[in-house]
Structure 1
Amino acid sequence: MSATLTSPPPPSSPPSPAAPPSTAPTAPRRRTRVLALPEARWATAATALFLLALPLQLTGAPAWTWGALYALAYATGGWEPGWEGLKALRERTLDVDLLMIVAALGAAAIGQVMDGALLIVIFATSGALEALATARTADSVRGLLDLAPATATRLDAEGGEQAVPVEELTVGDTVLVRPGERVGADGRVLDGVSEVDQATITGEPLPAPKRPGDEVFAGTLNGTGALRVRVERDASDSVIARIVRMVEEASETKAPTQLFIEKVEQRYSLGMVAATLAVFAVPLAFGTDLTDALLRAMTFMIVASPCAVVLATMPPLLSAIANAGRHGVLVKSAVVMERLGQVDAVALDKTGTLTEGMPRVTEVRPLRAPGSEPAWGEGELLTLAAAVERPSEHPLARAVVEAARERGLASAMVTEFESTPGVGVTAVVGERLVSVGAPGRLLDGVGEPAGSATRVLVTEVEASGRTAVLVLVDDVPAGVLGLADRPRAGAADTVASLARLTGTAPVLLTGDNPRAAARLAAEVGIEDVRAGLLPQQKLDAVRELEASGRRVMVVGDGVNDAPALAAAHTGVAMGRAGSDLALETADAVIVRDELATVPAVIALSRRARRLVVQNLVIAGVFIAGLVAWDLIGTLPLPLGVAGHEGSTVLVGLNGLRLLREAAWRDAVSD
């Protein structure tokens, strides 16, 4: 890309009231409907016709009833892959889709109408699912632009306000961002103090304080203060727009992935066509009857067709997909399931992936003078802080209130509540004035030696990667609360399992600050930590790993993870809190946010790949035996069909072994 995100990550946010939900208008998201795609309509029609014809045939209905329905199924399901195959022929390429259409028509020509129709339905459905996945991903990329508001309030030289489309904003314009609105353009704050939730860009869980001179990004959510912002980038070059371009480019440049059997598609197709023609022409040249030669050739095409080979590949992978789905992992295709087993390096996001994504009170530190007991106990300090924070909607405020509730502390009534953006909140509890907020601002009016002792305690809390919140009672420091985002249950075990499976320790890629990242990494056992990363830098880190020959899995949940998810060998999104773009861009989704399923699905994929190899051996032995029989002797058509269908059923049943619950338990224990 020509544009590079170079802005530094924002500092940790002090506690203050969160912004209310944005009232800025946004364009409605449009989802691709399944039946809106031509491929899906044709596949649905072919399947319905097949399901109508099959019981008629099996119950002995007149041939003209089910025959007409089969003919329509051939036409509706086969015309599109057939047409695409013919277009590929013009490029001197022969694909399996066209080969399957020919095999289906050949089966019909010798009376095996149902077998041919089933083949048509399978391939039409596969094509429809692929088209749907492609369209949904494109929708999600376009929908990312809905994060930015459609209009912005531009200020003229006299201070007048004018609502204009964000596309009309130019560099140098000044815009007004009211409380609760989304920022309309990338720029720099000229006037005002507020907090801005920019998790969509940086992934940092807490709102970032914004004062004059600080940078803001389009699509981020303003808090309780009003901001005047000078536009520094055109709408087409905003951070959000660049994320869209990065996702699109990563998706386009990602090497096309094929299932194992598709990698030999050309050679097999050409070889089968050439062999079928030879089986027909050679006996005919030596005086064999035309009907006999045609029957032998059609029998050869039936027994040599790759139906068993296709089913050798698909049932294990689809069974693995179904088993993973039962345990909360949505794998979007058989190709993805195959790729999961190839992963040999893992890059993990922090907030919302390895952690719960919500701050929690981890320590309560009352202040004490040297040689004396603290004026307030832990419970009293937390009770006062929770009482003042209860009217606030800031994430840190909710964490303090929740901590008091979990400890069973009584709720106190407050009066004269006041919130100051970038500083904190103040209220009267009983007869005491209590302030809770950012230490740096609240300590400005505190004298010595209390100020020095408080700064030492704040430094101790922040040195461990926690966010420090200061509590003042009647303008005297009473204590410090330490808050942090907790690791998910089993995060350390998951990291260890991934290292064992891939042979290399996972990497932590996060937009959060280095201290918080280092603290989490130490807790879960990660040594390679890359913090303060913007979306472009996460993408660069993944490309760096892949340039060294690694097949990288990226696990993330936010918009800022989407470019890396798209570029990675395999992208996995956390489902519950994941952004729409991350969920659509990723190849797999952890629906229940259970980290332990990540290594389990890798192990399950590897088991599926081993079953694929087994099935290919079985299918190859059957095909070779039947082909040899047809060429050397005289293979009766019914026996050829029975052998062909029998091998198909056998490999199918073998592949279904991964549906068993024991298969998942074995994968978890790997």
Structure 2
Amino acid sequence: MNTDLTLPTGADGELCELDLGIGGMTCASCVSRVERALKKLPGVASATVNLATETARVQWQAPTQAGATDTDTATMTARIQRAVRDAGYEPRAIEQPDGDTTPRLWGVPHDAWPVLLGMLLSLPLALPMVGDLFNKHWMLPAWAQFVLATPVQFVLGARFYKAGWHALKALTGNMELLVAIGTTAGWALSTWLWWRAEPGEMVHLYYEGSAIVITLVLLGKWLEARAKRQTTEAIRALQALRPDVAHLLPDGIKRTEITDVPVAELLPGDLLQVRPGERFPADALVSEGETQANESMLTGEPMPVHKRPGDSVTGGSLNGEGAVVIEVRAVGAQSVLNRIIALVQDAQATKAPVQRLVDQVAAVFVPVVLVIALVTLLAWLWLGAPPEEALIHAVAVLVIACPCALGLATPAAIMAGTGVAAQHGILIKDAVALEIAHKVSVVAFDKTGTLTRGQPRLLQLLPAPGVDADQALALAAGLQAQSEHPLAHAVVEALKDKPALVALPSSAVRAVPGRGTEGQVEGQPVRVGSLRWMDELGLALGDLAPDATRLQAEGATVSALAWGGRVHALLAFGDEPKAGAAEAIATLHARGLRTVMISGDNRGAAEAMARRLGLRPEQGEVMAEVLPGDKAARVMALKAGDVTVAMVGDGVNDAPALAAADVGMAMGGQGEGGQGGSDVAMHAAGITLMRGDPRLVAAALDISRRTVSKIRQNLFWAFAYNVAGIPLAALGYLSPVVAGAAMALSSVSVLTNALLLKRWKPGA
């Protein structure tokens, strides 16, 4: 568990950033108070506080004067912690959610003991309420009620007085202040009535109300804490993927045998042995052996991926049945797993735009409630009610108005939504991207590598009359076996699909730049190249000319195979749609979204591929012949007219377009079964799709829609609860006990509603 505060550093004039935990926050008013205290510090650029994670993120400008050192950063960090403490809260290190490490006494978590003790002391006070239902009088003597209620009020409830006092000193209010004032009023009223009663007189006391309210509030906060821990399960699951040790191979000098070393000590270049069933300890390349890697926790891809020497593996993925040797490539913060964890934590720490409304309400909520409670007291007294009755109604107003649910509504939903999305290979960079994505009406796709495989394939080989197609393929593959050109690779791969064929041996092979390849095969000169080259050489296509025209019109790249002074075959190359690309387009169309493909191909090729994918060129869903530098301008054009646009690309050459869109989605991996997004993808895009599956686009928009829906539901119920509860309490329809139970239930219900997002699955 990490218990150290990491001091941020930054170059002169750059923003420094610090994340720290904050203890003692309980409601939306606490959040506003801490943020105000932090923003008052000189140099602070922004401060964001999250109630659900009980953390704060502070950014400030690094010193620009000459001689600025790390001491300045340490001083600013100390000031930030002091400001939190002066505001009445406890600055502390952010504990990594690596499992349930709650201390226990006799098998009961320490944080549950105050609740249990409160119940034990409050139960005898509540028995008369139960007895009244059966016409039984189980009222305890006044001294017994005093003995039971006082420890609950001033020992178990001490936290409310402490936090409420800090709020008063800061001239603000919070949940604890409302609870402290309300329950103290009930306890003091009971003590006063008991003190002034005649010996032997039976008076109605209200000790049970104060004790039960404090116990219910403690119970609600404990249930909240348990629910909050569930919202961080996604991060805990990711962190659990990291093994503790790695098997370091001998280097022949210092180590002569395999040594088990902590993963934290690994260095790039280390050679490790990974045994069957173990997790890969770091990002690496396979050096020896073959295996299958299960990357489902990182990419959401359920099928194992075959790994052979030269293939990359991701730290945290599960090794299959093969023992392999790997060479470490990235460790620590540079590893894919750590970057994923950092992205999820960043998303959960950010504040959604809708939260600004909540903050504005919370800033004035508690003072308004105090005024309403005072008005309630005076109104009942004016109407002739006994002082104790008027006071009880005012106490009910104070208890039911606590803005706990209001502060938890948005961050709880964001934490649950981003967490479950990460488990399915969708990394959401921040809450802003999450909130905007549900409004997307146009989805623009880059073609190559996003909707298509990005690797040319030999689609068709058309031989001239009298020429054997298999012989022509074997001849072309022999000539291009040593070439690095993508079209040459496509020919060689096509030959592999026919195990009975063998490439014919070639010699004197020479690449002709911009034209093709020529060499000797079985003693005769053979050429494979563009139709333009054939025309330059005076080699006519003959009967193949109509086929060449047709294939080009369909968008294929056409090459010719020639020997003996004439063209003997045509080779048509083209990209292939990714698996699931057409399904993804159809899903988006079914949801009423417009889709657009942006391609650098000529219009004929682009429209031919678009129709294979289910796009509609006649409705403007194809943008062809677009240069890489012009993609961002095309995205900006799509945004005209207040349209929300999502751009999907590979995150490298599409970075400007991703940044220009309202929501950028960087598709990780090269081709299918990729290793996840590049650094450019993670920085330029608001959402990173960890595997090259276009169907994740619809899934990302869906989880955004569902999360925003949960936020709205939570905010509605949080506001509705207070709007309805305060008048009912003021009119005398709610007792303090019922108000306390309702307050606790509201917070738990908001968290429970948010946790329903954990059941989400793509396509469900």
TM-superposed CA distance for 1:259, in Å, is 4.1
Distance in 1, matches of 2:391 and 2:686, equals: 46
Cα gap change, 1:299/1:549 in structure 2, threshold over 3 Å: closer, same or farther? same
Which one of 425, 437, 441 corresponds to residue 340 of structure 1? 437
* 1:45 aligned onto 2:93: yes
Which residue number corresponds to residue 469 of structure 2? 378
Structure 1 residues 120-519: aligned runs within 5 Å: 259=352, 261-265=354-358, 267-279=360-372, 303-366=400-463, 368=464, 373-374=465-466, 376-408=467-499, 409-447=501-539, 450=540, 457-503=547-593, 505-519=594-608
Give the match's secondary structure for 2:683. Answer: helix
Percent identity of the aligned residues? Answer: 30
Deviations 1:16-52 (A, max 9, x none): xxxxxxxxxxxxxx9xxxxx94115774715579976
Give the match's secondary structure for 1:559. Answer: coil
TM-superposed CA distance for 1:391, in Å, is 0.9
Superposed CA RMSD in Å reads: 4.8
Which residue number corresponds to residue 58 of structure 1? 112
Distance in 1, matches of 2:623 and 2:101, equals: 55
Work out whether residues 587 and 698 of structure 2, in 8 Å CA contact, stay in contact via their aligned partners in 1: yes
Give the match's secondary structure for 1:411. Answer: coil
TM-score under structure 2 length normalisation: 0.52
Deviations 1:124-144 (A, max 9, x none): x99xx9xxxxxxxxxxxxxxx
TM-superposed CA distance for 1:365, in Å, is 1.5
Which residue number corresponds to residue 693 of structure 2? 594
Give the match's secondary structure for 2:576. Answer: strand
Distance in 2, matches of 1:506 and 1:431, equals: 53
Distance in 1, matches of 2:747 and 2:438, equals: 25
Give the match's secondary structure for 2:508. Answer: strand
Give the match's secondary structure for 1:357. Answer: coil
Deviations 1:80-123 (A, max 9, x none): xx9xxx9xx9xxxxxxxx98xx4467668987789889999999
Which residue number corresponds to residue 221 of structure 1? none
Distance in 2, matches of 1:339 and 1:279, equals: 37
Work out whether residues 224 and 748 of structure 2, in 8 Å CA contact, stay in contact via their aligned partners in 1: no
Cα gap change, 1:303/1:411 in structure 2, threshold over 3 Å: closer, same or farther? farther
TM-superposed CA distance for 1:548, in Å, is 1.4
Give the match's secondary structure for 2:502. Answer: coil
Structure 1 letter corresponding to 2:604: R
Work out whether residues 494 and 595 of structure 1, in 8 Å CA contact, stay in contact via their aligned partners in 2: yes
Which residue number corresponds to residue 753 of structure 2? 654
Work out whether residues 426 and 687 of structure 2, in 8 Å CA contact, stay in contact via their aligned partners in 1: yes
Deviations 1:586-611 (A, max 9, x none): 22222222222322443444344444
Structure 2 letter corresponding to 1:538: K
In structure 2, list runs of 5 or more residues that go unmatched: 1-9, 11-15, 23-54, 56-91, 118-150, 184-213, 235-349, 382-386, 671-676
Which residue number corresponds to residue 274 of structure 2? none
Give the match's secondary structure for 1:582. Answer: helix
Give the match's secondary structure for 1:592. Answer: coil
Work out whether residues 426 and 435 of structure 1, in 8 Å CA contact, stay in contact via their aligned partners in 2: yes
Work out whether residues 418 and 428 of structure 2, in 8 Å CA contact, stay in contact via their aligned partners in 1: yes
Cα gap change, 1:294/1:402 in structure 2, threshold over 3 Å: closer, same or farther? farther
TM-score under structure 1 length normalisation: 0.59
Distance in 2, matches of 1:354 and 1:635, equals: 60
* 1:568 aligned onto 2:661: yes
TM-superposed CA distance for 1:394, in Å, is 1.7
Cα gap change, 1:305/1:417 in structure 2, threshold over 3 Å: closer, same or farther? farther
Greater CA deviation, 553-562 or 607-616? 607-616
Higher relative contact order (CA 8 A, sep 6+): 1
Cα gap change, 1:555/1:379 in structure 2, threshold over 3 Å: closer, same or farther? same
Distance in 2, matches of 1:440 and 1:316, equals: 60
Greater CA deviation, 321-330 or 471-480? 321-330
Structure 1 letter corresponding to 2:112: L
Distance in 2, matches of 1:474 and 1:302, equals: 96
Give the match's secondary structure for 2:478. Answer: helix
Distance in 2, matches of 1:437 and 1:586, equals: 39
TM-superposed CA distance for 1:358, in Å, is 0.8
Work out whether residues 435 and 475 of structure 1, in 8 Å CA contact, stay in contact via their aligned partners in 2: no
Which is helix-richer, 1 or 2?
A: 1
Cα gap change, 1:640/1:332 in structure 2, threshold over 3 Å: closer, same or farther? farther
Distance in 2, matches of 1:660 and 1:271, equals: 36
Deviations 1:481-521 (A, max 9, x none): 11111111232332232123135x31122233333212211
Structure 1 letter corresponding to 2:474: T
Deviations 1:520-575 (A, max 9, x none): 11222232221222355322222222221211121111433222222322222211
Distance in 2, matches of 1:352 and 1:297, equals: 65
